[in-house]
Amino acid sequence: MNILGAVLAGGQATRFGSDKALAMLDDATLLDHALNSLRPHCTALVVVGRSDAPVACIPDLPVSGLGPLGGIAGALGHAADHGYDAVLTTACDTPFLPDDLFEALLAGTPAYAAEAPTVGLWPARLAQPLLSHLIGGGARAIRRWAGQAGATAVLPGVVLANVNTPAELASLSRP
């Protein structure tokens, strides 16, 4: 399967107080950790919602400011336009993914991590339906849209590291 890896990085980081994608954890940025978590499973990588990154950057769709679902829409649009079968998404504030997550997502495609819906495997065929949903003013909650799209929530109870404040970053330990 030809999979595009996409890190969602267009948030305002208001609780963090600065650009959390560039915050350091060990010797790498949170963005680098997120990219590295996707790399083994993907043909190519992009960052959604930023203009600077170590890989190609693409915009949210249909406009910025729609939250993570706009980032997923941007990634799906890019995937559909460039011949990818699916998009594996994560957020820049989710630096590590469990080893068994990808297989669980693959088995349920479309699927998302039950405790972290920004982490998901979405078929590129969902690009137009999601874009239409957002343009039509549909709910911007990932779980709600995922339910409408027939997505499966996988690994319930498995909590993924999520960094929203400097204190959470300081207390984060590598799995």
How many angstroms separate the CA atoms of 8 and 100, rounded?
A: 21
- Write down the pLDDT at residue 42: 98
Per-residue pLDDT for the chain (175 aa), expressed as one digit of tens each?
999 999 999 887 778 888 999 999 999 999 999 999 999 999 999 999 999 999 999 999 999 999 999 999 999 999 999 999 999 999 999 999 998 999 999 998 899 999 999 999 999 999 999 999 999 999 999 999 999 999 999 999 999 999 999 999 999 866 6
- Write down the pLDDT at residue 11: 80
- Determine the structural domain holding residue 161 and report its residue range: 3-171
CATH number of the domain enclosing 155? 3.90.550.10
Non-local CB neighbours of 127 within 8 Å, separated by 6+ positions = 73, 76, 77, 79, 80
Q: How many domains does the chain have?
A: 1
